[in-house]
Amino acid sequence: MRAMKVRYGIVGGLILATMTFAALAEEQKTLVVGTITTPVVNNALGSGTAPGTPGTQVFAGLVELDDHFVPQPYLATSWDVSADGLVYTFHLRQGAKFHDGTPVTSEDVAFSVDTVRANHPFGRAMLGPVDRVETPDALTARFVLKQPHPAMLTSVTTLLLPILPRHVYDNGPIRTNPANTMAIGAGPFKVAEFKAGQSITLVKNPDFFMPGRPKSDRIILRFYDDMQSARLSLENGETDAILQTSFGYGDFDRLKKNPKLNVFTDTFAGLGIVDYLEFNLRKAPFNDLRVRKAIAHAIDRKFLVEKFQGGVTQQLEGPLPPDHPFATKDLVHYDYDLKEANRILDEAGYKPDANGVRFKATLDAPTFSPDGLGRVADYLKPQLKRIGIEIDRRISPDSATWAQRLSNYDYDMAMSQIYNYPDPVIGTHRLFLCKNQIKGVMFSNTGGYCNEKVDQLLEQASKETDPAKRKELYAQFQKIITEDLPYIYTTTELPYGVAQKSIVGLPKTVLGTMAPMWDMEKK
């Protein structure tokens, strides 16, 4: 009897041990990656990191940008550009298949162009110049342009133009297609499970066309909206990596000191994130350039960068971050000078009342950037009081409320942020074009800025194929913006990623987390 028990015990122990080993073995190939909540995987329908992170794992694009902004072959093995820059011919990879086994054809490319142009927030800017996509054979997609489009190759990365299987997505209204969550693409990972509001489980695509990739069997994309708990999960090892955090800059130094963690900032140059103070130019007194100039003089950018953002970010005076390929130094400068600010307002006739108040203004800020936008908005209240502007700092319970107020022009002043992306056509133009005032659409020209000269410059720059001339056009544009001051730029935002030191093969790219994690694995 006793021997039996012992034997059972041994057998039980063995089974347990085997199970543990199996679990460990499986654990080895699974990565837990933190990201922000997304309602969809299909990144043809939305911009930003939320759909961009899973989308770039599940879909493949024609090209990928490397860490020097240079397009590298992906679904397209090569491409030719005609001498006049009006025809781009992409040669698709032989044998590339979608997750359901159907081959990737030029028909799918043409369909994806139409879908993205109609549904993605930048669709018109990126693919508007494409007149049509010709499909002479299954493996050749010929983009015929209406005008030269220097941002063409940047616009066909997985992030901006995921190649969708036509037979899955050309099936009634795309917004309600179930494959927006259980997405089917040709990328390195398949969607195994989509838990709304919690996580996405991705499994290795065994038929992926790049040999040896992906290196991990499973990636769990876990949603974190509370950055405190996200940070703790990294510190206690529950999460392997968060490739783009929105932690405060105060955490930067502390995380760096943690011997188990790898903190990196080198993969975000292509995002070109800038923070700025935006005005509702439809309203007095914000339509008065002198008022905006005075406010520009009242902001101490050095203080913001050093005291609020731990010296991680950069002071910003124009629309593009200093390290952006199109940035210029030739801008109008507004030094921190409260006396000058008060003098300008005195001269402009904004007399202070008995309490020293010249006028009142509301100020909104979203919640997604606590150190960049929220804290700077809080800072502006006492700061602008010094030049006689009484700020009513309106609290938004979430970023959606802030976006709603701005896009419906229900605000005076607001802290805001935009991703410029590697090419200004994609991310920058939208804030400045007169015609891009679309009520209800966030990150359009919400302030109501309109300058024909700027429209002309941007129009020209979007067609100019000579890089040097193009850079010059954008330099002129940047200078005019600092003269007109529709936005007062404060600082750049530099997201940073955090991973356990045991994780190797982090995506090397300029688009942060929105690139394939095919080389990532745990060592």
Give the binding site for other proteins (CB under 8 A). 227-228, 248, 250-251, 254, 307-308, 367, 370, 375, 378-379, 381-383, 385, 391-395, 397
Please, which residue, 365 or 503, has the CB nearer to other proteins?
365
**Which CB atom, from 391 or from 461, has the smaller least distance to other proteins?**
391
Which residue lies nearer to other proteins by CB, 248 or 270? Answer: 248
* Two structure tokens written together for 319: 């629309």
CA distance 424 to 459: 11
CB-count exposure of residue 388 (10 Å: 0-12, 13-18, 19+): buried
Smaller CB distance to other proteins: residue 286 or 308?
308
Instruction: For other proteins, give the closer residue by CB, 177 or 417.
Output: 417
Of the candidates 150, 72, 151, 143, the one whose C-alpha atom is nearest the C-alpha of residue 112 is 143
Helices (H), 326-371: 338-347
Q: How far is the CB of 378 from other proteins (least distance, A)?
A: 5
Eight-class DSSP state of 75: S
Distance separating the N- and C-terminal Cα atoms of the chain:
46
Q: For the packed helices 338-347 and 289-297, what is the interaxial angle rounded to 10 degrees?
A: 160
Question: Least distance from C-beta 337 to other proteins, angstroms?
Answer: 17
Nearer to other proteins, 73 or 250 (CB): 250
Find where tokens 């950037």 sit: 369
| Shortest Å distance, C-beta 354 to other proteins | 17
Give strand pairing partners of 497: 264
3-state helix, strand, coil in the chain (%, to 5): 35, 20, 45
State both tokens at 450.
């309109």
From the CB of 491, what's the least distance to other proteins, in Å?
15
Question: How open is the CA angle 116-119-124, to the nearest 5 degrees?
Answer: 70
CB of 385: closest distance to other proteins in angstroms? 7
CB nearer other proteins, residue 308 or residue 443: 308
Separation between Cα atoms, residue 87 and residue 75, nearest integer Å: 18
Instruction: For residue 468, give the H/E element and its range.
Output: helix 467-484
CB of 364 to other proteins, least distance (A): 11
Alpha carbon distance 346, 365 (integer Å): 28
Which of residues 493 and 521 has its CB atom nearest to other proteins in the complex? 493
Q: Give the shortest CB-296-to-other proteins separation in angstroms.
A: 18
Task: Compute the least distance from the CB of residue 259 to other proteins, in Å.
Answer: 17
Q: In angstroms, rounded to a whole number, what is the distance separating the alpha carbons of residues 401 and 508?
A: 35
| Residue 251 or 493 having the CB closest to other proteins | 251
Minimum distance from CB of 459 to other proteins (Å)?
41
CA 480 to chain centre: 26
